[in-house]
Amino acid sequence: MGTPPETEQTAEAAPEGVETGAQAVVEALRAAGVEYLFGVQGGAIMPVYDALYDADDLTHVTMAHEQGASHAADAYGIVSGDPGVCLATSGPGATNLVTGIADASMDSDPMVALTGQVPTAFVGNDAFQECDTTGVTDPITKANYFASDPDSVGDDVGTAVALAAAGRPGPTLVDLPKDVTAAETDRTPGEPTTPETYHVQERADEVAVEAAAHAFEAAERPVILSGGGVIKGDAHEELREFAFRTETPVVTTMPALGSFPEDHDLAMEMAGMHGTGYANMAITHCDLLLAVGCRFDDRLTGGIETFAPDAEVIHVDIDPAEISKNVHADYPLIGDAGTVLDQLDEAVEDAPDADEWRAQCREWKETYSMAYEIDEDAPLRPEFVVEALDEATGDDAIVTTGVGQHQMWAAQYWTYTEPRTWVSSHGLGTMGYGLPAAIGARLAADDDQDVICIEGDGSFLMTIQELAVAVRENLDITVAVLNNEYVGMVRQWQDAFFEGRHAASEYSWCPEFDKLAEAFGAAGFAAEDYDDVPDAIEGALAHDGPAVIDFRIDPGANVYPMVPSGGDNGRFALTEEQL
């Protein structure tokens, strides 16, 4: 395993005092408990890098591209729960981070971006590599700061780290003008705290909890909808306990994969556009929906008019602005997911009388089974590859993905049982997320956890340069490319909705990913037939360091079930003809 040795937080690591703004930045990171940073050097950020040069307790990973740094930091945050930190210079360095910041914002991931800026006196003059970074990132950060004073730059950074993880997590940014980080200061930053205008409500109103509990007890067809907030709030145990005691079927959103064990009888798995048929039936027919930590994204709801149309909605969320944003909450419960679930658990005395409903849900699991058939002589089915990888790895293996069909197969056919094992780009849907995310996930994971990156041929090519980083850092990652030589998800939509006109979705040439991996210094494998699969997987997992398997899958494979955008969840298509 290539992760750097754990450095001990010794007292001597703390310097006697800071001398520059840049040292104050580093001291603030240290005080906030930051261990890893992902970034790329450059003019305006050089003073900060220079201060990091002496910080042996902070590990910096030099990425190939700043987008990679932002995704690595994002994934680090998802897996560890602590903010991942990325670093870039001004101008293009900062703009290259933007995709990853927007991604973290959509998915409420704790992340901090530190960007260099031209010296204060040049700001506004269109100086070399100047960009209005706080302006550009304002709509995609939870908060951002322009550090204008060397005496407070450390506190700005501390605040940014504290805020990223507090309440509903999200990305924060501090823009660091070069003169401010280079300037002298002896102000050691204080304890990182959130700003005084930031408030988080932990416990839900008792009266509201009572009312919700009554509604829940009276339900005949209850469903729990577990959202990403359950994982971010570390509320999976409370959720499981509540579901087990009340024997309530559980549907998850995509970001919540792993919050509830998918091998459990009550698990209906993922709902939404490519959710299971049974999850979508359960959501469509329930009369009470207990939604926890979710924002009712349109990929989940389909058309709002037909979303859980018979259900009273109890919505638990830490962000009051999510309440009744997309779906009206009959019982809004504002607070921390775990705390509110405990409150509900106490308030609900009798579980709903729902034997019939549970039997119905069980029946749907059979009727709309995700099972598929294999023809050994036909091209490889991607579903089989995902299942084979799942079987070959431990229960706590971490899966990262790109965006496209392969992402959906990875969500559908891997059996998730633990939180923080599914690392994907949900809200923004960023192709190229998988590999840099695997790098961040690898550094946050335990050494004995496998990290598998499931990528598409197109998506992989968007950030493939990060293989150089994985090799340099000797990170144990297995990249499984589900190679269909297609911009597959687009091709699937073209077949369904654009009369099969494959505009810009066919690759007439694709690199050989196994050989490309070898050129980077990683191990390369390829699998074309069912017989090749076990050996390729075994070889890649056994390799100490990054390995890439080029799975040549059926180019015509499609993702089902499918609810077309804005469609009725209950009318998911099982075949193209049903679309």
Partner 1 sequence: MSNGLSGPAPDERPTPQGRRTPEGVRIDPEAEAQPEIRRTTLSALVKHEPGVLAEVSTLFSRRQFNIESLTVGPTTDPDRARITMVVEEPEPGVEQAKKQLAKLLPVVSVTELGEDSIERELALIKVDGERPDEVHAVAEVCDARTVDVGPRALTVEVTGTEPEVDRAIEAFERFGVREVVRTGTAALARGTNETANTTGEP
Of 19, 41, 122, 129, which one is the catalytic site residue? 129
**What DSSP state is assigned to residue 67?**
H
CB 415 within 8 A of CB 390: yes
Q: Is residue 298 involved in binding partner 1 (CB under 8 A)?
A: no
Nearer to partner 1, 393 or 407 (CB): 407
Residue 523's H or E segment, with its range, is strand 523-527
Q: Is residue 302 involved in binding partner 1 (CB under 8 A)?
A: no
Q: Is residue 484 involved in binding Mg ion (CB under 5 A)?
A: yes
450 backbone dihedrals φ, ψ, rounded to 5°: -75, 145
Does residue 365 carry a catalytic annotation?
A: no
Does residue 572 carry a catalytic annotation?
A: no
Q: Is residue 487 involved in binding ligand TPP (CB under 6 A)?
A: yes
Q: From the CB of 393, what's the least distance to partner 1, in Å?
A: 25
Q: From the CB of 506, what's the least distance to Mg ion, in Å?
A: 10
**What DSSP state is assigned to residue 5?**
P
Q: Is residue 572 involved in binding partner 1 (CB under 8 A)?
A: yes
Q: Is residue 456 involved in binding ligand TPP (CB under 6 A)?
A: yes
Query: Among residues 488, 524, 561, 570, which is the contact residue for Mg ion, using CB under 5 A?
Result: 488
Cβ neighbours around 363 below 10 Å, total: 12
Q: From the CB of 102, what's the least distance to partner 1, in Å?
A: 12
540 backbone dihedrals φ, ψ, rounded to 5°: -65, -45
Q: From the CB of 517, what's the least distance to partner 1, in Å?
A: 29
Q: Is residue 141 involved in binding ligand TPP (CB under 6 A)?
A: no
Of 512, 458, 518, 454, nearest in space to 484 by CA: 458
Does residue 343 carry a catalytic annotation?
A: no
Residue 431 binds which entry of Mg ion, ligand TPP, partner 1, none, with Cβ cut-offs from 5 to 8 Å by kind? ligand TPP
Token pair for 121 = 């006196």
CA 142 to centroid of chain Cα atoms: 17
Provide the 3-class DSSP secondary structure of residue 464: helix
Of 106, 111, 408, 489, which one is the catalytic site residue? 489
Q: How far apart are CA 95 and CA 129, in angstroms?
A: 10
CB 328 within 8 A of CB 311: no
Q: Is residue 495 involved in binding partner 1 (CB under 8 A)?
A: yes
Q: From the CB of 497, what's the least distance to partner 1, in Å?
A: 13
Does residue 128 carry a catalytic annotation?
A: yes
Q: Which amino acid would we find at residue 310?
A: D
CB 451 within 8 A of CB 441: yes
Residues 315 to 344 in contact with partner 1, rule: CB under 8 A = 319-321, 323-328, 330
Query: Among residues 81, 429, 539, 564, which is the contact residue for ligand TPP, using CB under 6 A?
Result: 429
Provide the 3-class DSSP secondary structure of residue 20: strand
Report the chain's terminal Cα–Cα distance, integer Å.
47
Q: Is residue 333 involved in binding ligand TPP (CB under 6 A)?
A: no
Of 338, 384, 336, 368, nearest in space to 529 by CA: 384
Query: Among residues 162, 398, 403, 443, which is the contact residue for ligand TPP, using CB under 6 A?
Result: 403
Nearer to Mg ion, 210 or 485 (CB): 485
Residue 389's H or E segment, with its range, is helix 382-392
Cβ neighbours around 189 below 10 Å, total: 26
Q: Is residue 497 involved in binding partner 1 (CB under 8 A)?
A: no
**What DSSP state is assigned to residue 331?**
E
Residue 311 binds which entry of Mg ion, ligand TPP, partner 1, none, with Cβ cut-offs from 5 to 8 Å by kind? partner 1
CA 577 to centroid of chain Cα atoms: 33
Q: Is residue 498 involved in binding partner 1 (CB under 8 A)?
A: no
Q: Is residue 114 involved in binding ligand TPP (CB under 6 A)?
A: no
Helix axes 153-165, 21-31, angle to 10 degrees: 30
CB 86 within 8 A of CB 97: yes
Residues 506 to 565 in contact with partner 1, rule: CB under 8 A = 554, 556-558, 560-561
Residue 138 binds which entry of Mg ion, ligand TPP, partner 1, none, with Cβ cut-offs from 5 to 8 Å by kind? partner 1
HSE-CB for 494 with a 13 A CA cutoff: 14
Residue 489 binds which entry of ligand TPP, Mg ion, partner 1, none, with Cβ cut-offs from 5 to 8 Å by kind? ligand TPP
544 backbone dihedrals φ, ψ, rounded to 5°: -90, 100
Q: Is residue 501 involved in binding partner 1 (CB under 8 A)?
A: no
Q: Which residues contact 330 (CB under 8 A, 6 or more apart)?
A: 215, 312, 313, 314
- As a whole number of Å, the CA-based R_g of the chain is 24
Q: Is residue 404 involved in binding ligand TPP (CB under 6 A)?
A: yes
Residue 557 binds which entry of Mg ion, ligand TPP, partner 1, none, with Cβ cut-offs from 5 to 8 Å by kind? partner 1
Does residue 129 carry a catalytic annotation?
A: yes
Q: Is residue 490 involved in binding ligand TPP (CB under 6 A)?
A: yes
Identify any residues that bridge with 356 across adjacent strands, giving them in sequence order: none
Binding residues (CB under 6 A) for ligand TPP: these are 402-406, 429-431, 456-459, 482, 484, 486-490
Q: Where in the sequence numbering do the catalytic residues fall?
A: 66, 128-129, 178, 489
Binding residues (CB under 8 A) for partner 1: these are 134-135, 138-139, 142-143, 146, 163, 195-199, 201, 277, 281, 284-285, 296, 304-307, 309-312, 319-321, 323-328, 330, 367-372, 492, 495, 554, 556-558, 560-561, 568, 570-576, 578
